[in-house]
Structure 1
Amino acid sequence: MRIDDDLLPFAVSCLGDAAGKPAILLPGGPCRDPEYLSHFAGVGDDHPLIVLHPRGTLRSGGLSGGWWADAADVMALADALGLEVVDLVAHSAGTRLALATAAQFPDRVRSMALITPPATWLTRTPSDVESLTAIYAEPEALGALAAISTDDPDTESEFRESFLRQAPASYAHWTHTEQAHARVGIVGLAAARAWFANIPDDAGDRIRATPIPPTLVIGGDRDLLTGVQPVRDYAATLDAELAVIADCGHYPWVEQPAAFRKLLSQWLDACDS
């Protein structure tokens, strides 16, 4: 599928070569270049996926208006695709954008698949990362968690260095595969700061008060960024279906591609049936 994005204020790309009604894929980061999605475990060959490159990424440029306001970009892409209603697939920070879209445009969002979502901001559930660390964490992850607690970068180069120091906490294991993936996809300090700017104080309340469309939440049982219990509570808050992939961190298409592809492809197929 080819998309003419000349009239859109952001870039888009297609993932895979499946035919049919596409879902819109919202990357995380926040505002990490979608290159990190790689081939997304081949889901795009089962169901067409159109990737929205958030403002602040390499091809889109500029800066985000904040994840709440950027819901208008999702609707602009839906309109460009000629979609009356959309299925949203979102990863990590992109799940905030998906929820913002569903809350502001409830009649336009048919379903959502939310992958390894940050959850405590919505549920206020205490993190269980400490208990997970005691059971699962490899030595590299311990250092990464310490960096998350102490790093406070002021420049783009410092931010990139900090991102790489924290990366081992994102994966269940730290092999060559995960190390290579951690280096893919630029994420910038200014873009990340813009993503969290201008968010209404009642955004969480508005999301919790909105009837959410059919939603699948996919978590990893060793995700030291989100924890596990917060993600369970997040799914319950949204009245969503929950699937927790075993031996998996924050990027299930990297560490458990077969299980991830089966879950997400079956979900998207069911949405179309």
Structure 2
Amino acid sequence: MYQDGFVEVTGGRVYYEIYNQDAAGTPVIILHGGPGTSTYSLKGLKALGEDRPVIMYDQLGCGKSDRPTDSSLWNIDRFVEELGQVREALKFDEVHILGHSWGTTLAAAYCLTKPSGVKSVIFSSPCLSAPLWEEDQKRNIAKLPADMQETIRRCEAEGTTDSAEFKEAIAAFSKEFVFRGEPDFEWLKVGAGMRNPEVYQTMWGPSEFTVLGNLKTFDCTSELKEIYCPTLYTCGRYDEATPETTEYYSSVTPNSEFHVFEESAHMPYMEEPEEYLQVIGDFLKKVDEKS
């Protein structure tokens, strides 16, 4: 059974979808990346609904959710509150949480409030420390051709990150560290319409590489030892969320596992979808069987 609709949250309404609503397994809530993108690229994860409900929602400000103009809403505390409001409205007492990219930032911040009923958390291509993310991107940029490195540094320094040459450099970076597959232009076109650049600019900044927004000081690394539920960390071998940093996060998290998708960058759910679904699905089933 499929259901969709809207939930009232602080600041407006968010749009949600539930796949396989009547399944017996513990539901999994998907937290999309961004901030300010949508669940659009993650629709393939509805396949996890073979034996459990799968819940996806567009965070406030993007996708099919309301787009208020109050920029004070774009902060991590309100997004944590929003997740709690979605759970409460949909009456999910027990859940698994799967966050991707910025969704892992949100998942960690939420879990660290010690909510009840979280059976497991999956950090997919995690960003749990803005300073560590910046350091990793410096190393990744250094792997690009020299002219691309120079363009990125110069455009960031001059504030010309909206220029054609910077976009060309971003495309080269993305091909290496974000998505290594062939671009689906229809998907890119629709996905672009789901985005809200203001949310990203406010919270992160004008580029992937240097954090200038209100997440600049976010770093929950020292608190990961407080996440006691079963935890799975995943990333791609060529991920901007690097295997080294992702494995480090896992090493300081009790009861955690770590998996690398060997042929992927930052979007293994699209680059290696069969293996991604297998790894995530097996983890969820294992947790359910033990509980």
State the TM-score, normalized to the length of structure 1. 0.78
Name 2:118's counterpart in structure 1: 109
Mapping for residues 112-151 of structure 1, pairs under 5 Å: 112-121=121-130, 127=136, 130=139, 149=153, 151=155
Partner SS state of residue 213, structure 1: coil
Aligned 8 A contact 2:31 2:100 in 1: yes
| Counterpart among 182, 185, 190 of residue 191 in structure 2 | 185
Single out whichever of 54-63 and 20-29 deviates more from structure 2.
54-63
Q: Secondary structure at 1:73's aligned position in 2?
A: helix
Question: What is the root-mean-square deviation of aligned Cα atoms in Å?
Answer: 3.8
SS in 2 for 1:59: coil
One-letter amino acid of the counterpart of residue 250, structure 2: A
Partners of 1:3 and 1:93 lie apart in 2 by 23
Corresponding residue pairs, total: 265
2:133 and 2:241 in contact (8 A); partners too? no
Give the residue type in structure 1 aligned to 2:200. A
32, 52, 65: which is aligned to 2:74? 65
TM-score between the two structures when normalised by the length of structure 2 = 0.74
Structure 2 counterpart of 1:168, one-letter code: K
Higher relative contact order (CA 8 A, sep 6+): 1
Q: CA deviation at 1:195?
A: 3.6
Please give the secondary structure, in 1, of the residue aligned with 2:81.
helix
Distance 1:38 1:72, change over 3 A: same
Deviation at 1:213, TM superposition (A): 1.8
Larger radius of gyration: 2
CA shift in 2, pair 1:120/1:230, >3 Å: farther
Percentage of pairs with the same residue: 18
SS at match of 1:272: helix
- Deviations along 1:43-73, whole A, 9 cap, x unmatched? 2345321112111203112365312331111
Amino acid at match of 1:107: S
Task: Specify the code of the residue in structure 2 equivalent to 1:185.
Answer: G
The counterpart of 2:277, out of the listed 254, 261, 264, is 261
Task: Indicate the residue corresponding to 1:29 in structure 2.
Answer: 34
- Which consecutive residues of structure 2, in runs of 5 or more, have no partner in the other structure? 205-212
Could you tell me which residue of structure 2 aligns to residue 96 of structure 1? 105
* Equivalent position SS for 2:64: coil
Does structure 2 retain, via aligned residues, the 8 Å contact 1:87–1:110?
yes
The verdict on how the C-alpha distance between 1:130 and 1:262 changes in structure 2, with shifts beyond 3 A counting, is same
Structure 1 gaps, min length 5: none
- C-alpha distance in structure 1 between counterparts of 2:278 and 2:56, whole Å: 20
Which residue, 257, 262, 270 being the options, matches 1:246?
262
Task: Report the Cα offset of residue 161 of structure 1.
Answer: 5.2
- How much has 1:272 moved relative to structure 2? 2.2
Residue 15 of structure 2 corresponds to: 11
CA distance in 1, matches of 2:141, 2:216: 32
Q: Say if 2:30 and 2:98, in contact at 8 Å, map to a contact too.
A: yes
